[in-house]
Amino acid sequence: MNKIKLATVWLDGCSGCHMSFLDMDERLLELSTQFDLVYSPLVDFKVYPEKVDVALVEGAVSSVEDEHKVRHIRARTTLLVAMGDCAVTGNVPAMRNPFGPLPILDRAYHQNACAQQQTPCSIVPALLEKVRPVHELVEVDLFLPGCPPSADTFFSVLTDLLAGTVPNVSSLTRFGV
Ligand code: SF4
């Protein structure tokens, strides 16, 4: 049996969606016979493959690096899932939008720093003016709301996707599929 190539992606989120994914516990072992996890913060692969069947994307798009990453992933993925409220609506990361990035950086790296106050100009990716949900940058095939989506939801959705059907999440989502 050909295994589905599955990726999980971490943009601007707290990793809680990935923790909930892991909360499937032994059910994850059951599902894992049907997929290869080809890219994820949970595994060591650092290069996104050319062709991925399903990508679960956690987090909003907050930085130049996030934007580049999500466009790169979209181009190489058949079915892209916005996983969790940060990916679906912007949620917590988007709370900085009324202020803009400069006051946020000032707060984090100057006002709240005890020593060596300076705004990083390398390594830390530049912030976008506005935090945006994933669908404002690239086409999203499936919205999976929740903060985080429950382990039961992950199990139900992944079971359907691995069976080759699009899950009915209309009872879960405010946006439909
Ligand atoms: Fe964390 Fe909630 Fe955002 Fe998921 S949706 S990354 S749990 S804040």
The mean of the pLDDT values for the chain is 93
Per residue in 101-129, pLDDT tens?
A: 999 999 999 999 999 999 988 888 999 99
Pocket test for ligand 1, best of 10, 15, 17 (most atoms within 8 A of CB): 17
Expressed in angstroms and rounded, the spacing between residue 95 Cα and the centre of ligand 1 is 13
In a domain, residue 12? The reply is yes
Residue 149, pLDDT above cutoff 70: yes
Residue 88 CA, closest ligand 1 atom number: 5
Q: What is the CATH number of the domain that holds 70?
A: 3.40.50.700
151 in Cβ contact with 25 (< 8 Å): yes
In a domain, residue 106? The reply is no
CA distances from 137 to 67, 68, 102, 159, 172 (A): 7, 10, 22, 27, 23
Exposed e or buried b per residue across 2-14, where buried means at least 16 C-beta atoms within 10 angstroms of its C-beta? eebbbbbbbbbbb
Range of the domain at 148: 4-94+128-174
What is the identity of the amino acid at 163? A
Expressed in angstroms and rounded, the spacing between residue 131 Cα and the centre of ligand 1 is 14
Tell me how many domains the chain contains.
1
Strands 61-63 and 127-132: antiparallel
> What local confidence, expressed as pLDDT, does residue 32 receive?
92
In a domain, residue 14? The reply is yes
Per residue in 14-49, pLDDT tens?
A: 999 999 999 999 999 999 999 999 999 999 988 999
